[in-house]
Structure 1
Amino acid sequence: MSGHSKWSTIKRKKAATDQKRGNLFTKLVREITIAAKMGGGDPTGNPRLRLAIDNARANSMPAENIQRAIKKGTGELEGVTYEEISYEGYGPGGIALIIETATDNRNRTVADVRHVMNRNNGSLGETGSVSWMFQRKGSIDVPKSDASEERLMEVLLDAGLEDLDGEDENYFNVLTDVKDLENAKKALDDAGIPYENAKMDLIPDNVVEVESEDAAKAIRLIDALENCDDVQAVYSNIEISEQAMKALDS
């Protein structure tokens, strides 16, 4: 797909800005709390919690905040009870969207998500309307300056590597089965290869290419959704042409 930018690339371009949002710690805390509630407070036996803690540390969250979130999840401290709800819909240019939330008030959350969708050329769909287009995978970004494709293949082939995407100018994107994400991280750690953005991701089976006008509208919609307090993550099958990317960057 030379000459185009997939959503994984767009997310990396947005990352520096996203990390400055005031609600980033809130999202990280909610993920830690939910992970601890579901799988216990010991990260060695709870891969989801271990991943959430790693992401919190990567974003400079203080250790006391992490521990407090774990204790709220396990019930050692009083805290809000969150439930996870996913919404599905469509955006400009016919792109598919999956919006994952963590909320203590589902009526408030669905109203907020619907409001944002309606104001930004999007529409909510029924459950199952777009989720069939995506597969949940483990995803890791490895800077190309730190490892060659051959080296990554050598290190990860026995650690669950399913796909190695090198289309991005600066990063390889490592995809694994969800259960193999921790194995891949350990293999990279053991080999001394730095990596970023290790996470559970939703990968589209096919992408929808959008041009400048729809691309700008789609990015505005996704940004608005991500700024909702209860939204944890937004996934899309958007693909943007190089010409549209240049227009967005200008």
Structure 2
Amino acid sequence: MLDNPRSPRVRAVAKLEKRAARLETGQFLLEGPQAVAEALTFRPELVVELFATPTALERYADIAQAAEDADIEIEFVTEQVLDAMADTVTPQGFIAVCRQFPVSVKDIFNNEPKLIAILEEVRDPGNAGTIIRAADAAGADAVILTGRSVDLYNPKVVRSSTGSIFHLPVAVGANLSDVRDRARAAGLQIIAADIKGDDLLTARNDGVLAAPTAWLFGNEARGLTDDDLLLTDKSISVPIYGHAESMNLATAASVCLYESAFAQRS
């Protein structure tokens, strides 16, 4: 059992909270039973190391079985060691070190997608992870993060996605104009989610959302720039019927993605 919170091995895992360490190693941190279970189920080949407390492993026998099926050894650690490794206050008994696995923008569009989400300068890791999760739930084919967006492998992004990063392709470091060109070449319309855009209900009634679509979501505070909007085919806003001053980006993105999913499946 690994029981020294100050050991070099523990410190090496803990360093993955920092972007520099993730860039250097090509690895990232995965915390909690849900995320670990998703990795073992969908992408077990990415798991480099898996740590758990004995208590947690007793409680989640399915994770123990999934690790055994994937021929992945689980190393027991104390609660103190787990706390030293974790980015969160409560890692819930499990931590894994995984290899990064971004896909290329070219590969995404070669697979003839019908619905994707593009994140341009989305900086909040909770928003980015939640949008990835919403895209997964809505049946989107991929998510693309431009180079000005938050790091996909930031622990808070990974945690907020609740395992969805293992379910659908996610490209990183993309250039927005290049994404625009590839989207149009693949037959997708590019719709910006923008507060000055047309009403979403109007777009729904006009049948706009049934076509293959790449939704573009911008920065939480500033939205999309005028230059960004010039790269799109249409701008659409999510109406606010109550008295809220604004809507959280991830919530608005979830609405937009589901509206397209409904329209494309109707």
TM-score range, shorter chain: under 0.3
Which of the pair has the greater relative contact order for Cα pairs under 8 Å at 6+ separation? Answer: 1
Larger strand proportion of the pair: 1
**What TM-score do the two structures reach when normalised by structure 1?**
0.23
